[in-house]
Amino acid sequence: MRLFHSSCASCGATANGICSTCVDALEPAVVPPLLAVKSSSVLCSYSGVGAKIVQALKFRNNRQVLGPLVDALAASVPDDFDAIVAVPSHPERRRERGFDIPELMAKRLSRKLAVPLATPLSRVDDGAQMGRPRAERQGVEFRAADRVPERILLVDDVVTTGATAVSCALTLGLAGARSVSFVALAATPAPIFDGPIAAGAAIRAE
C-alpha cells in the first residue's frame, strides 16, 4: 500500500500532500450551534478542494495531507482542555482503511497542543454512518466510561448533520464532562444543517 505521496492530492503539483495554492483555495465552513457542544471549529468546507483533499485521506490512504490540515486546525483551537478524545469510528471502516482518521488527528493534536489523549467513549450503534440516509445518521449511540475528563476537545474528520458530535457530547456530559468542544477537518455545505441540530441523537451513558 502506498503511504508516501510527492504531489498535491488536489491538483497534482509537486508538494508534500497539499500545495500552498490549494491550501489557499480551501473554502471556509461554518457549523451552527450544536446541542451540548460548547464550541465548534471546522477547517474547511467538504466541497471543491477541501473534498478532494479529505477524500484522498479517507479513500486513497494519502496520510501526508493529514499533517498540514491538522496543524492548521490546531491554530484555531482557542480553549484549554484536560483531554483530547477522538470520535470512535465504526470497526468496519477501521478494518477497511487499516487506520482511523479521528484517532490519527487526535494524536497529532495532542502533540501540537500538549494535551493528553483519552478514550472514554465506545460505539454501540450497528453500522457505519457514511452512506446512510440523513434521518438514520441521527441514531448513532455511544457509551462513556465511569469517569471522564472535565474539559474535552472532541475530534472527528467530517461533520455532516452534527448528530455524531451531539451524541458524543451528550454522552460525555451525562458521564461528568463539564464542557465538550468539537473540531473537524471539514463540514458538508451549510444547507444540510436545518431544524434543531441532531435533536434525535440517541445517547447512552454507563
pLDDT at 94: 74
pLDDT at 11: 93
What CA–CA distance (Å, rounded) separates 63 from 49? 16
What would the pLDDT profile of 120-169 be if each residue is shown by its tens digit? 999 986 555 445 555 444 557 899 999 999 999 999 999 998 999 999 99
Q: What mean pLDDT value characterizes the chain?
A: 84
Q: Is the dihedral of CA 195, 158, 87, 180 positive or negative?
A: negative
Strands (E), 15-114: 40-45, 83-86
Report the percent of the chain where pLDDT is more than 70.
82
Grid coordinates given for 44: 474547511
What does the pLDDT average to over 70-81?
89
The answer to whether residue 198 scores a pLDDT higher than 60 is no
**Greater confidence, 166 or 1?**
166
What CA–CA distance (Å, rounded) separates 92 from 61? 16
Q: Yes or no: say if 105 and 86 are a contact pair by the CB < 8 Å rule.
A: yes
pLDDT at 195: 43
The full set of domain ranges for the chain reads: 28-47+78-192
The architecture in CATH of the region 28-47+78-192 reads 3-Layer(aba) Sandwich (3.40)
pLDDT at 200: 36
pLDDT at 131: 52
The answer to whether residue 193 scores a pLDDT higher than 70 is no
The answer to whether residue 117 scores a pLDDT higher than 50 is yes
What CA–CA distance (Å, rounded) separates 177 from 165? 14
What would the pLDDT profile of 25-74 be if each residue is shown by its tens digit? 999 988 888 999 999 999 999 999 999 999 999 888 898 899 999 999 99
